Amino acid sequence: MRDAFLSFSPPLIGDDEISEVLDTLRSDWITTGPKVRRFEQEFAAFIGAPAAAAVSSATDAMLVGLAALGVGPGDEVITTPMTFCSTVHVIEHLNARPVLVDVAPDTLNIDPEQVARAITSRTRGIMPVHLYGHPCEMDALHDLANRHNLFILEDAAHALPARYKGRMIGMPRNPGAGNRGQLTAFSFYATKNLTTAEGGMLTGEPELIDRARIWSLHGMSRDAYKRYSAEGSWYYEVVLPGFKCNMTDIQAALGLQQLRKLPGFQARRRQIVRRYNEAFASCDALQTPVERPEVESAWHIYALRLNLERLTIDRARFIEELKARNIGVSVHFIPIHLHPYYRDKYEYKPDDFPVAYREYQRLISLPLNLRMNDGDVQDVIDAVLDIAERYRR
């Protein structure tokens, strides 16, 4: 057994990131300034987006995105129960109604057939979540958006740098005649494939991004850098009742260096995934995650499923056994409709979304991070297989 505890998902910060942050701290700008602008431009170029706005989290990226799209009271936005609560909170914050639909059994992503059945005259848009980094069925979702004049705001918190049919997530498609707009929200939280400690990015067409940027900083027509730098002006106007969710240059300094390393980061993540898949494929008590042939997953999370009918212990005991072997694990996610706020407000029952509820009960997320060496990976494999064999039914 390991002597030291293996953390589930610590960040990997190197000397390049530290030097970039120090350069920022020694400069005239530590809040939103030139490095934020550089990060926005380089990030947009990396994924092939026409424009990007850096904000303080993916939650805020979704919030200002929805605001820019005009979502408000009486509107409905369709999304998934298999996500973190922030995806649904932002709809509630704007006094709109989140409409949950069930997920596909293989990817656990939102099911387009269920989306189609949920569309009403009040539906304004769809918020698909690229769960664990595996892209949703975007062709089907865009067809629905075009047919019903809906927007799409993609929750890509897990999905950098994923691809769907060769296109990077965040690269806009040509909208159909009825599509109200397309935006994508990314997360740079400490556990993500690229981190700025806290932070996020919203990408899309320039007109929508410009509107979202105003929402992100008090609804002001000029940010501080534009007002106080040498080329700026003191004058501004408040044109919207905006929020406060801008990114700082300190965060952007981390992002600039992490973005340059991202291809190498992803190559290592895929190496770990391959080792996990090869090790677990022959164990009938385990179900490895899928990667459909038309996608390249970002592999943000390695979500293993337990075939509980082949084990004498439940998921909670399996996790405790891993922790006893110094392996840190998690579960992604407790479905939205099981949380008291949403359960009580909308009178949800566990089986209202049977696929999400059933699969949640057998999910565990294994360590998948860049600080793991080959020995760490083998320790995880050995621990999982040992537990599966020891408690085989």
What is the separation, in whole angstroms, between the first and last Cα of the chain? Answer: 24
CATH 3.90.1150.10 at 262-390, yes or no: yes
* Phi then psi dihedrals of residue 189, to 5 deg: -60, 165
Please give the C-alpha separations between residue 374 and each of 96, 265, 271, 283, 378, in angstroms, as whole numbers.
47, 15, 10, 21, 6
Confidence band, pLDDT 50/70/90 cuts, at residue 318: very high
Q: Is the pLDDT of residue 177 over 50?
A: no
The burial of 165, by beta-carbon neighbours within 10 Å (0-12 exposed, 13-18 middle, 19 or more buried), is given as exposed
Q: Is the pLDDT of residue 231 over 80?
A: no
Give the mean model confidence (pLDDT) for residues 143-169. Answer: 97
Report pLDDT digits (tens) over 331-368. Answer: 999 999 999 999 999 999 999 999 999 999 999 999 99
The rounded percent of the chain whose pLDDT value lies above 90 is: 93
Q: Is the pLDDT of residue 175 over 60?
A: no
State the chain's mean pLDDT as an integer: 96
Please state the pTM of the whole predicted model.
0.96
Residue 345 bears catalytic tag: no
Of 175-184, 298-307, 341-350, 367-376, the one with minimum mean pLDDT is 175-184
Q: List the domain boundaries for the chain.
A: 15-255, 262-390
Of 238-242, 263-267, 268-272, the one with minimum mean pLDDT is 238-242
Confidence band, pLDDT 50/70/90 cuts, at residue 225: low
Q: Is the pLDDT of residue 250 over 60?
A: yes
Give the mean model confidence (pLDDT) for residues 364-383. Answer: 98
Distance CA 153, CA 237 (A): 28
The rounded percent of the chain whose pLDDT value lies above 70 is: 96
- CATH topology for the 15-255 domain: Aspartate Aminotransferase; domain 2 (3.40.640)
**Among 192, 226, 261, 349, the one annotated catalytic:** 192
